[in-house]
């Protein structure tokens, strides 16, 4: 369905909504927790809160390095497990461990409260696109399992793009695939200041920070909009 067939909205500022996935539409933290609990138990490790937090810290460090272009996606997905288990005094095969974790992650798709309703609402008014960092096969499977894929005009995954948010190359990849592209008529919605908001601003789109925890923004990245619940967008757009 093209933009010209959308519901008529007066004084509309945007034609296209770019939606992040993890932490915005899908509860990745829950998926990660359940996946890592399975992985740890496979190696005879009790998945305590402290160990789960350690993995999360290591994983976030790798993803931050990935966003800065300091580590490749191929290296990230297996080395994080080598580093994590080494901290526990265990040697593992990072590639095999990644495959084990990936199988668990592929089967998990937990909707964030309000995500389905929001996408149903937005689809009648805007063209929707997914913009996500991650592994292509996993993101496609999770979006299909959640039922969100049917609302999207297209899905742009960093692995397919060969670059990631917030890098300009990622957005160039996306924009080449959006008919009649006009960044000034786009709104990017995401939960990450460093990835979504910074990337959208550099690409020339308006941005909306989804901040359900009410975090204080101590960065120099200033979104155009900020919401703490997805339903708030229905009152704004």
Assign a CATH topology to domain 16-26+110-235.
Rossmann fold (3.40.50)
Task: Please state the pTM of the whole predicted model.
Answer: 0.86
Render pLDDT for 95-127 as a digit per residue (tens, 0 to 9): 999 999 999 998 889 999 999 999 999 999 999
Q: Is the dihedral of CA 183, 184, 189, 194 positive or negative?
A: positive
- For every residue of 23-79, DSSP letters joined together read TTTB-HHHHHHHHHHHHHHHTT----HHHHHHHHHHHHHHHHHHHTTSS-HHHHHHH
Q: What residues in the chain have per-residue pLDDT under 50? A: 1-5, 7-10
The end-to-end CA distance of the chain, in Å, is: 19
Same fold: 16-26+110-235 with 28-107: no
Calculate the alpha carbon distances from 31 to 59, 110, 139 in Å: 14, 7, 12
State the DSSP code for 108: -
**Domain covering 28-107 in this structure, CATH number:** 1.10.150.240
Render pLDDT for 190-224 as a digit per residue (tens, 0 to 9): 999 999 999 999 999 999 999 999 999 999 999 99
- Tokens 């080395």 locate to 79
Catalytic residues: 20
Predicted pLDDT of residue 68? 85
Listed by start position, the domains of the chain span 16-26+110-235, 28-107
């Amino acid at each position: 369905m093209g933009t010209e067939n959308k519901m008529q909205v007066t004084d509309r500022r945007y034609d296209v909504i770019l939606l992040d996935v993890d932490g915005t539409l899908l509860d990745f933290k829950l998926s990660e927790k359940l996946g890592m609990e399975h992985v740890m138990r496979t190696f005879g490790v009790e998945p305590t809160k402290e160990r789960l937090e350690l993995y999360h810290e290591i994983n976030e460090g790798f993803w931050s390095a990935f966003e800065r272009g300091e580590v490749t996606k191929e290296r990230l997905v297996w080395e994080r497990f080598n580093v994590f288990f080494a901290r526990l005094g265990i040697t593992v095969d990072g590639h095999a461990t990644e495959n084990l974790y990936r199988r668990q992650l592929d089967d998990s798709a937990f909707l964030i409260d309000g995500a389905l309703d929001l996408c149903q609402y937005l689809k009648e008014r805007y063209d929707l696109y997914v913009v996500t960092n991650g592994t292509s096969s996993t993101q496609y499977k999770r979006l299909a399992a959640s039922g969100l894929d049917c609302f999207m005009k297209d899905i742009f995954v960093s692995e397919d793009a060969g670059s990631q948010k917030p890098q300009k190359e990622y957005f160039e990849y996306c924009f080449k695939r959006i008919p009649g592209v006009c960044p000034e008529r786009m709104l990017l919605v995401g939960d990450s200041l460093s990835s979504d908001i910074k990337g959208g601003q550099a690409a020339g789109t308006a941005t909306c920070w989804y901040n359900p925890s009410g975090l204080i923004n101590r960065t120099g990245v200033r979104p155009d909009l900020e919401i703490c619940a997805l339903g708030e967008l229905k009152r704004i757009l």
